[in-house]
């Protein structure tokens, strides 16, 4: 089976007037669920992270763990990249990583690159490792790269309806996110929200949220590992002309959003947005949740044809591979001609 590696380098916003051309863009949300992901931060990003850490050390009288500071320096760029793509506060992702992995020193993190304690769950087709947790010998996901763990954490949250209310919060509302995660059942520890908030405020993790909200430049390289010579396609851009449709098919209306700006962002028409959201006029409100795709028929079924793949079918219907596999209780990526797949 072909294995795809996605390498993402992130940096600070350059001139908005750049005229660099896009060679090719790859929607990260459409990457198959078991794809390994590598993220390489630019020197500007590394410099910015180190500056925040230095300022934190300078302006606090509290004891700061060097182990935790080292973890932040290494993984803040990953959390920032995930925030930019999935709208999950970098501060929350970092705090969860610190807490769940013991700042990267837990057995799961050090041997399996699993920084969030995500278990195998039904439908997981990737590598796995067994570890004693709530029960003896439980199955946990194993990753080749830590960045894949961060990406899996993001997709875990955005593909489960119980966390949808969190995406109605401001992107820098880390306290709301901390409380919301506990309320949605992410953790059973009653002190979980306060533990996250303590890490965020002690280590100034919300500073990374602020950096993301300023905007960034991305350089993306897609490397396909096949029997043929490796092909590399790079993308350099300071402005994304068309945003990738979010995995949950929803958009949380921002302060300055209009139907026109949203339609331009996602490449849909204003009339479609109004129809899908039962709008009689063009008035929308901050934090309103808008559907970005047509509601599917209740019992829509797709018949697999020759050359179809889970990826091509998922893309056709505005789904992710993970969603399609979960809907149909698929344990792997194998399909057969004539097979019926439920689309909703």
Same domain, 203 and 271: no
Higher-confidence residue: 121 or 341? 341
- Is there a domain that residue 128 lies in? yes
Considering the domain architecture, whether residues 264 and 170 belong to the same structural domain is answered as: no
| 175/61 same-domain check | yes
235 domain-assigned: no
Same structural domain for residues 80 and 174? yes
pLDDT band at 10 (very low <50, low <70, confident <90, very high): very low
Kindly state the percentage of the chain with pLDDT values over 90.
28
Residue-wise pLDDT tens digits, 92-127? 999 999 999 999 999 999 989 999 988 887 767 788
What's the pLDDT at 24?
A: 29
Residue 50: which pLDDT band, with cuts at 50, 70 and 90?
A: very high
Q: How many domains does the chain have?
A: 3
Token digits of residue 30: 């459409």
The widest CA-to-CA distance across the chain, in whole angstroms, is 66
pLDDT of res. 194: 97
- State whether 50 and 155 are in the same domain: yes
232 falls within a domain: no
Of 21-25, 53-57, 69-73, 194-198, minimum mean pLDDT range: 21-25
Q: Which of 95-99, 145-149, 156-160 has the highest mean predicted lDDT (pLDDT)?
A: 95-99
Q: Could you tell me the CATH number of the domain that includes residue 205?
A: 1.10.530.10
Query: What's the confidence (pLDDT) of residue 203?
Result: 97
**pLDDT confidence band for 57 (50 / 70 / 90):** very high
* Token digits of residue 275: 């129809």
For residue 134, the model assigns a pLDDT of 64
Kindly report, residue by residue over 235-261, the tens digit of the pLDDT: 232 233 344 455 456 778 877 788 888
- Rounded Cα distance, 58 and 138, in Å: 42
Looking at the structure, do residues 180 and 33 belong to the same domain, yes or no? yes
**What pLDDT is attached to residue 295?**
59
Q: How confident is the model over 308-319, as a mean pLDDT?
A: 80
Neighbour-count burial for 169-203, b at 16+ CB within 10 Å, e otherwise: bbbbbbbbbbbbbbebebbeeeebbebbbebbbbb
333 and 208 in a common domain:
no
Residue 64 lies in a domain: yes
**Residue 320, φ and ψ in degrees, nearest 5:** -105, 160
Which pLDDT value is given to residue 34? Answer: 54
CATH code of the domain covering residue 314: 3.10.350.10
Answer whether residue 135 shows pLDDT above 60. yes
- How many CA atoms are closer than 13 Å to the CA of 311, on its beta-carbon side? 12
Is 239 contained in some domain? no
For residue 179, the model assigns a pLDDT of: 96
Under the banding of pLDDT at 50, 70 and 90, the label for residue 342 is confident
- Shared domain for 73 and 202, answered yes or no, is yes
pLDDT in tens, 207-240: 999 998 887 534 332 322 322 332 322 223 223 3
Could you tell me if 24 and 161 lie in one domain?
A: yes
Asked if pLDDT for residue 19 goes beyond 80, the answer is no
The answer to whether the beta carbons of residues 138 and 164 sit under 8 Å apart is no
- The verdict on residue 245 lying in a domain is no
Q: How confident is the model at residue 297 (pLDDT cuts 50, 70, 90)?
A: low
- 230 within domain boundaries: no
Tell me the average pLDDT of the chain: 77
- pLDDT at 334 (0 to 100): 85
Give the integer Cα–Cα distance in Å for 66 and 34.
33
Does the reported pTM lie above 0.75? Answer: no
The reply to whether 90 and 198 lie within a common domain is yes
**98 and 158 share a domain?**
yes
pLDDT in tens, 59-105: 998 899 999 999 999 999 999 988 888 889 999 999 999 999 999 99
Q: What pLDDT does 125 receive?
A: 77
More confident residue, 265 or 154: 154
For residue 281, the enclosing domain spans 250-292
Q: What is the mean pLDDT of residues 126-135?
A: 79
Kindly state whether residue 15 falls inside one of the protein's structural domains: yes
Looking at the fold, whether 55 and 141 belong to one and the same domain comes out as yes
Residues 6+ apart with CB under 8 A from 143: 36, 112, 113, 114, 126, 127, 149, 152
């Amino acid at each position: 089976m072909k294995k795809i590696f996605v390498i993402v380098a992130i940096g600070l916003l350059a001139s908005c007037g750049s005229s660099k051309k896009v060679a090719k863009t790859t929607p990260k949300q459409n990457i198959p669920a078991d794809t390994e992901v590598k993220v390489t931060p630019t020197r500007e990003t590394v410099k910015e992270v180190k500056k925040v850490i230095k300022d934190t050390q300078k302006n606090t009288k509290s004891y700061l763990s060097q182990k935790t500071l080292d973890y932040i320096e290494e993984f803040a760029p990953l959390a920032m990249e995930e925030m930019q793509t999935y709208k999950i506060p970098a501060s929350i992702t970092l705090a969860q990583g610190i807490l769940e992995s013991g700042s990267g020193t837990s057995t799961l993190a050090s041997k399996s690159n699993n920084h969030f304690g995500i278990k195998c769950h039904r439908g997981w087709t990737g590598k796995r490792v067994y570890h004693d947790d709530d029960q003896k010998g439980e199955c946990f996901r194993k990753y080749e790269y830590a960045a894949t763990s961060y990406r899996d954490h993001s997709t875990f949250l955005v593909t489960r309806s119980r966390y949808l209310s969190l995406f109605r919060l401001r992107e820098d509302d880390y306290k709301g996110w901390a409380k919301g995660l506990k309320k949605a059942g992410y953790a059973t520890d009653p002190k979980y929200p306060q533990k996250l908030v303590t890490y965020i405020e002690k280590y100034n993790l919300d500073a990374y949220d602020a950096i993301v909200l300023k905007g960034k430049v991305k350089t993306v390289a897609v490397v396909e590992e096949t029997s043929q010579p490796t092909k590399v396609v790079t993308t350099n851009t300071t402005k994304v002309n068309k945003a990738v449709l979010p995995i949950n098919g929803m958009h949380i209306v921002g302060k300055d959003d209009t139907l026109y700006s949203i339609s331009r962002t996602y490449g849909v028409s204003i009339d479609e947005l109004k129809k899908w959201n039962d709008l009689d006029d063009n008035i929308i409100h901050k934090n309103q949740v808008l559907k970005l795709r047509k509601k599917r028929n209740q019992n829509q079924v797709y018949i697999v044809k020759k050359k179809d793949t889970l990826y091509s079918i998922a893309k056709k219907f505005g789904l992710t591979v993970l969603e399609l596999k979960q809907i149909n209780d698929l344990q792997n990526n194998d399909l057969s001609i004539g097979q019926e797949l439920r689309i909703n």
